[in-house]
């Protein structure tokens, strides 16, 4: 039997929640089964950046996401940070890929060192050990030597380091255009068809 493509999306406490929420929306619209993980710090950032109150309970978060982005309920699952029986916590049932978007420097460091102190870190550890695609979207500037060394070691393991650096050759007119540019690059890494922004040398998506 064929298995539906599955992507885990983790939201952490770095600036850049619009990227992560837009990514979830586009994955659901593409018919991709999506597992969502989020930290308490992500809730704080969502309130500060977007004036959004993310529900604390995973079931309520699922309802909230489906209300914002109508889709088949069976495509979306939301798991708590200590939900160790979640599929993403085991190498026997890993997703096809995982994206941490945005990725805080603390989360990045924990992943680099295999800390696995919560479900986000454990799910990333599973992707590395099972050789599944792992994309980290780190939002920090400037970068210290510690940050750069952590990223280098992860890149050597095959992890994709994808800073949210929007291009301007598409002549973005809104913040949403700039968000879509980054999300499009993430979708390309996941092998998900997208038409959010024109590609280089093309005039339309």
Alpha-carbon distances, residue 177 vs 65, 127, 150, 174, 198 (angstroms): 21, 30, 30, 5, 11
Per the annotation, binding residues for FMN are 13-15, 39, 104-107, 139
91, β-bridge pairs: none
Task: Please say whether the beta carbons of 202 and 192 come within 8 A.
Answer: no
Per the annotation, binding residues for dimethylallyl phosphate are 169, 185
Task: Please say whether the beta carbons of 122 and 100 come within 8 A.
Answer: no
Task: Please say whether the beta carbons of 24 and 69 come within 8 A.
Answer: yes
Per the annotation, binding residues are 13-15, 39, 104-107, 139, 169, 185
CA 128/CA 53 separation, integer angstroms: 32
Task: Please say whether the beta carbons of 49 and 81 come within 8 A.
Answer: no
């Amino acid at each position: 039997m064929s298995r539906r493509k599955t992507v885990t999306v983790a939201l952490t406490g770095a600036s850049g929640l619009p990227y992560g929420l837009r990514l979830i929306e586009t994955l659901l619209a593409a018919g991709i089964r999506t597992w969502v993980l989020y930290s308490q710090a992500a809730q704080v950032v969502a309130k500060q950046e977007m004036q959004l109150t993310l529900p604390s309970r995973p079931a309520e978060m699922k309802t909230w996401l489906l209300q914002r982005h109508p889709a088949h309920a069976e495509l979306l699952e939301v798991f708590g940070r200590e939900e160790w029986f979640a599929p993403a916590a085991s190498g026997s049932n890993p997703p096809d890929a995982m994206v941490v978007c945005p990725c805080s420097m603390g989360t990045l460091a924990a992943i680099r060192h295999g800390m696995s102190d919560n479900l986000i870190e454990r799910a990333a550890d599973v992707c590395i050990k099972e050789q599944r695609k792992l994309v980290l979207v780190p939002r920090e500037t400037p970068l210290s030597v510690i940050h750069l060394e952590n990223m280098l070691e992860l890149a050597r393991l095959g992890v994709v380091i994808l800073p949210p650096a929007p291009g301007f050759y598409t002549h973005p007119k809104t913040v949403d255009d700039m968000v879509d540019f980054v999300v499009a690059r993430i979708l390309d890494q996941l092998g998900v068809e997208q038409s959010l922004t024109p590609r280089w040398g093309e005039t339309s998506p």
